[in-house]
Structure 1
Amino acid sequence: MTDFDDDPRAALDRLCRDRGVDYARLSDVIGRNPAYIQQYIKRGSPRRLAEGDRARIAAYLGVPEAVLGAPVQRVATSVRGAHGNDMLLVPKLAIGASAGAGASIDGEPVEGAVAFDPKWLRDLGADLRALSIIRVEGDSMAPTLDDGDDILVDGGDAASRLRDGIYVLRMEDVLMVKRVARVPGQGRIAVISDNPHYRNWDDLPMTAVQLVGRVIWTGRRVR
């Protein structure tokens, strides 16, 4: 069993017992040979259900597809790696920062996922329940972050744990990535562009920004 999602095989086995549905009947529901579901649950063959089969089984049993292993939108999920080690699939959102008015890190569709070692993430101090990857747009944070870089954002590390660092934030209804630093005065911060050709905000009340999450890692294509 993983930290986030039950093993889909174990979940399906339990559902069959709870619903009084035998393996052969469930195999028939998806048009497979009678031993198909038993082999999937007991022997791990196939390694995962086909999307169509998973959807039909979920509908038949009356459960969300996520219970049977479907990706969960905007939530990191734990999976078993090829070598038997647990990996965390972090959703990559179809959004960039700066992204313009109305963009939301919580409401955008997932365009993929990237696998990370959960121990490595814990060593970074990350909240494994609140991670996402978004794309940097523009060069206001160059040379630290370049246009097109992927950034790993910890949504559990925002205003309540604020310290100097790089954050995804919303200001003036625009989602952006900037360096944030505390300044003298209760509840006051500076919002800084690493690229000197872009604007800084040297003294703002915390209420002027919404901190979405701290940037804890970046990946980029070698140019």
Structure 2
Amino acid sequence: MSRTASDPDPRSALATLAATRGDSLAALSVMLGRNAAYLQQYVRRGSPRVLSERDRRLLSDYLGVSETALGAPAERAPGFRLPKLNVAASAGPGALVDGEIVLGTDTLDPGLARRLGLRDGQAAIIRVRGSSMEPGLFDGDHIVVDTADRTPSAKGGVYVIRIEDAVMVKRVALVRGALVAKSDNPDAGPVPDGAIAVIGRVVWQMREPR
């Protein structure tokens, strides 16, 4: 939810968001480590006049909204910028890559970026090609990759990997000390042989509703 001309006041925005979730202002106050009347006084009496950065950040994360909806100045809550790379991670047999050329940037809500644990310079957006990771990932999906997370566990996860010169997105797990990659689509062909180099973990997908 973002602030609009019909709902420009962060106090009313907070009250609406809390009511929509079924949370009381008292409960949210306690979550912040404040007394139970803290947010009621903020909403109804304007005291405090603005929320502290800490309280605003915690509420933003919990409610899933931009900090600007809760009163942050626009310049204080910039979008989290990610480079869009020309690496087309193939969910099929693999896409040859000439280089990771930046095509531009895109923006994530900073609250979402924090929840995903992303850090500046350690995330990117790339496009999926192929059908081998359906139904989770479809051809044309854009995915957010945390390039700081390159260590799959035994439980495994979805990662962008490189095998020789082919870049692809696969489900990767650590099995008896070795990385094993597989497709989610049972009809997909085999994963190419070769050493697996992990580029990063897929933490979000950006897709229009189907």
1:221 aligns with 2:205: no
Provide the C-alpha distance between the structure 1 equivalents of 2:73 and 2:186, rounded to a whole number of angstroms: 45
User: 1:208 Cα deviation (Å)?
Assistant: 1.4
Provide the C-alpha distance between the structure 2 equivalents of 1:122 and 1:213, rounded to a whole number of angstroms: 17
- Conserved 8 A contact 1:118-1:128: no
CA separation of 1:172 and 1:109: change in aligned 2, threshold 3 A: closer
Question: Could you tell me the TM-score, scaled by structure 1's length?
Answer: 0.53
Amino acid at match of 1:146: F
Task: For structure 2, list consecutive stretches of 5 or more residues without a partner in the other structure.
Answer: 1-67
- 2:198 is matched with which residue? 211
1:68-107 aligned at under 5 Å gives the runs: 83-84=74-75, 85-98=77-90, 100-101=95-96, 103=97, 107=99
1:113 aligns with 2:100: no
Provide the C-alpha distance between the structure 2 equivalents of 1:112 and 1:133, rounded to a whole number of angstroms: 10
- 2:170 is matched with which residue? 178
User: 1:154 Cα deviation (Å)?
Assistant: 0.9
- 1:194 is matched with which residue? 184
User: 1:87 Cα deviation (Å)?
Assistant: 1.7
- Conserved 8 A contact 2:84-2:102: yes
CA separation of 1:148 and 1:82: change in aligned 2, threshold 3 A: farther
Provide the C-alpha distance between the structure 2 equivalents of 1:120 and 1:109, rounded to a whole number of angstroms: 25
CA separation of 1:119 and 1:139: change in aligned 2, threshold 3 A: same
User: 1:120 Cα deviation (Å)?
Assistant: 2.2
Provide the C-alpha distance between the structure 1 equivalents of 2:107 and 2:83, rounded to a whole number of angstroms: 9
Provide the C-alpha distance between the structure 2 equivalents of 1:189 and 1:82, rounded to a whole number of angstroms: 46
Amino acid at match of 1:118: P
CA separation of 1:219 and 1:209: change in aligned 2, threshold 3 A: same
- 2:119 is matched with which residue? 127
Provide the C-alpha distance between the structure 2 equivalents of 1:181 and 1:126, rounded to a whole number of angstroms: 21
- Conserved 8 A contact 2:124-2:146: yes
Task: For structure 1, list consecutive stretches of 5 or more residues without a partner in the other structure.
Answer: 1-79
- Which structure is richer in relative contact order (CA contacts within 8 A, separation 6 or more)? 2
Show CA shifts across 1:153-198 (max 9, x none): 1111113xx2211000011421000001222x2x213211011011
Question: Could you tell me the TM-score, scaled by structure 2's length?
Answer: 0.56
1:58-69 aligned at under 5 Å gives the runs: none
Provide the C-alpha distance between the structure 2 equivalents of 1:100 and 1:165, rounded to a whole number of angstroms: 20
- Conserved 8 A contact 1:151-1:216: yes
Provide the C-alpha distance between the structure 2 equivalents of 1:213 and 1:155, rounded to a whole number of angstroms: 4
- Conserved 8 A contact 1:136-1:177: yes
Provide the C-alpha distance between the structure 2 equivalents of 1:82 and 1:148, rounded to a whole number of angstroms: 35
Provide the C-alpha distance between the structure 1 equivalents of 2:81 and 2:73, rounded to a whole number of angstroms: 13
- Conserved 8 A contact 1:191-1:200: no
